[in-house]
Amino acid sequence: MKNKPSKVHVDYHIYTVNDAKKLFNNRKIYIWGAGQKGRGFLKALERNGFKIEAFLDSSPKLIGEYYEGIPILDPKEIFEDKNKLNNAFILTASVDKKNKEMFKICEKYGLEKGKDFINIQRFTPYYPVIEISGSCNLSCISCPRGDFSSRFRKTGFMDITDYERVIKKLIAEMPFLYLVDLYVWGDPFLHPKLPEIIKINNKYGIAGGISTNLNYGNNIEEIIKSKPPQIRVSVSGYGPEHYEITHKNAKWDVFYNNLLMLHKYIKKYDTKTIVEVYFHVNKINISEFKKVKELCDELGFRLNSTISMVFPDYALEYIQTGKLPTNAQKGADIMLVSLDDMLKNAKKEKDKDCLLKRIVPVINWDLSVMPCCNYTYRKLADNYLDITFEEIIKLRENHPLCKTCQKYALHRYFNPLYYSDYIDNLLKVEIKNE
C-alpha cells in the first residue's frame, strides 16, 4: 500500500521572464485589484521589464485615483470596450471567493483562462514570511504570546544587512516575487529599523506585509514616511472594556490615538498606504463592531471581520492533554464557535491539503527556517542563506510537526474563511437590531 502524499506537498512551476513574455504576447497588461497584492505585483513586473496599462478596481474609494502615476479604473471601462478588451491581458490580484468572481466575469466577456487572464499567484505560487521582530509588547489571550514564558525563550530583531541578503536570495529563487509578510509572532513596529526595511523592499520592488497591534507608536511618522504599501491592524473591541481583555497589556487610548496618527501621517506625506483593520469577533465584542466600522469609515480605512480562534499550538495541546493554559482557556471561553466544534469541522476536511502549504519559506529573525507560520518556533534549518529552496520543501514534507498536525486535522483548523459567511450574517443582524 502506497503512503498517502503529505498535505503540504507542493510542486508548482515558478514563472520565468520568458514564460511571462509568451503569456502576455505584447498585449496591454491590467492588474485587477489595486490593494496590497496588486501593488506588490506591479513592482515585480517592473523589476522584470514589464509595464502595466492600468489597475482595475471596483472600490469607489479607489476608482479615479492613481498609484505611482498609474490610473485605477472601473473594470467596466475595459470589459465593455471591445477594442480595449481584445488587446488586454488581465492579471487578477485576489484570492478565494473574490478571485472566483473575477474569473467568472472574465469568462462572461469571452476571455479564456490561461490565455487572456490569470491569477498573479501562478507566477510566484509560494508566499515567503520573514519574522523581522522576535518580540511583541502584548500577551493576547488567544495567541501563544499569552503564554510567553514557556514558549518564547529567545528574542531579537533581524539584522538589516541579513534582511537585504534574504530578499536578494528570495528574488533569485522567485523572479516574480511580489509580497512577503514581515511577521509571525512578533510585531514589526517594534523593530528599530523598520523604516529601513521598508525602503529595502521598495528598492527591490517587494510589498512587505506589516501587521501590528498599534500599541507602540514611537516611530509611526518615520514608518509612514518610508512609504509602506499596506498596514494591517488588529482590534478586538471598541473601548477598553473588552479590547483590553483580549489584547492583554494593551491600552485602548494608546491604540486609538495611534490609529489617528496613522491617518494623519498618511495624509501628510501622501503615501497612499492602505490600512486594513481586522476585527476579531467574539461573544463579548460583537456589539462593538458597528462603532469600529464607523471609525474606519471616518478615517478611510478598510475593515475586515474575522472569527476569534485560539491558535494551533493551543489546539494541539488541547487534543493531546485535554487542557489549555489559563490565558488560552479565557480565549476559548469567548469564541463564537467552540473549540470542540472547530476541531470537528476541521476533521471533516482532513483529506484536503494544508491551508498553508504555499507559505514557504518561513524565516525567523535569526535566519533559521521554520516549518510553519502557525506554530511557535520549531526549527527546520539553521540558516536560510545556506540552504536551497528545494531542500526546504523536502525537509518540510518530512518534518514531525507537519505529520502531527495532519494526524489531528489541524492543517484545516485555523481557517477563518470557513466561518466568514457565519460571521457576516451575525454582524448584519447585530447592526440591523441596533
Q: 380-429: per-residue pLDDT in tens?
A: 999 999 999 999 999 999 899 999 999 999 999 999 989 999 999 999 98
Please check whether residues 277 and 141 belong to one and the same domain. yes
Q: Is 296 part of a structural domain of the chain?
A: yes
**How do residues 317-370 score in pLDDT, each as one tens digit?**
999 999 999 999 999 999 999 999 999 999 999 999 999 999 999 999 999 999
Q: 113 and 161 share a domain? A: no
Task: List the CATH number of the domain containing 85.
Answer: 3.40.50.720
Domain count, the chain: 2
Predicted TM-score of the model (pTM): 0.90
β-bridge pairing 302-307 and 362-363: unpaired
β partners of residue 133: 157
Give pLDDT, residue 432. Answer: 76
Read out DSSP for 194-236?
Answer: HHHHHHHHHHHT-EEEEEE-----TTHHHHHHT--SEEEEEE-
> Rounded to whole angstroms, how far apart are CA atoms 317 and 224?
39
- Residues 101, 201 share a domain: no
> Of 121, 137, 161, which closes a domain?
121
Same domain, 78 and 142: no
Give the residues of the chain that fall short of pLDDT 50: 1
Q: Would you say residue 303 lies in a domain?
A: yes
SS3 (DSSP) at 370: strand
Q: Can you give the pLDDT at residue 1?
A: 41
User: What is the predicted pLDDT for the residue at 4?
Assistant: 67
Sign of CA dihedral 207, 208, 209, 211: negative
Q: Are residues 92 and 190 in the same domain?
A: no
Using CA atoms, how far apart are residues 167 and 129, in angstroms rounded to an integer? 11
Q: Do 92 and 133 reside in the same domain of the chain? A: no
**Does residue 248 sit in the same domain as residue 344?**
yes
- Kindly state the cell numbers that stand for 148: 510567553
Separation between Cα atoms, residue 324 and residue 310, nearest integer Å = 10
Q: Which helix (H) or strand (E) holds 401?
A: helix 400-407
Considering the domain architecture, whether residues 199 and 294 belong to the same structural domain is answered as yes
Torsion on CA atoms 29, 102, 119, 12, rounded to nearest 10: -160
- Is residue 290 a part of any domain in this protein? yes
Q: Would residue 293 count as lying in a domain? A: yes
Does 115 share its domain with 233?
no
- Show which of 96, 121, 146 is a domain's final residue: 121
Preceding omega of 361 cis (within 30 degrees of 0): yes
- For 299, the domain range is 129-433
Q: Can you tell me which residue has the cell 469567548?
A: 334
Are residues 107 and 254 part of one domain? no
Determine, yes or no, domain membership for 207. Answer: yes
233, three cell numbers: 491592524
CB atoms within 10 A of CB 378: 16
22 located within any domain: yes
2 lies in a domain?
A: no
Q: Is 58 exposed, middle or buried (0-12, 13-18, 19+ CB in 10 A)?
A: middle
CATH code, domain carrying 410: 3.20.20.70
Strands 28-32 and 369-370: unpaired
State the maximum Cα–Cα separation within the chain, in Å, rounded to a whole number. 65
For 3-26, the three-class secondary structure string (H helix, E strand, C coil) is CCCCCCCCCCCCCCHHHHHHHHCC
Q: Find where cell 471609525 sits.
A: 295
Final residue before a domain boundary, out of 121, 143, 173: 121
Helices 160-173/194-204 angle, 10° precision: 30
Would 11 be classed as within a structural domain?
no
pLDDT of residue 12: 87
Residues 107 and 171 in one domain: no
If asked whether residues 402 and 254 sit together in one domain, one would say yes
What's the CA gap between 271 and 195, in Å, rounded?
13
Predicted pLDDT of residue 319? 97
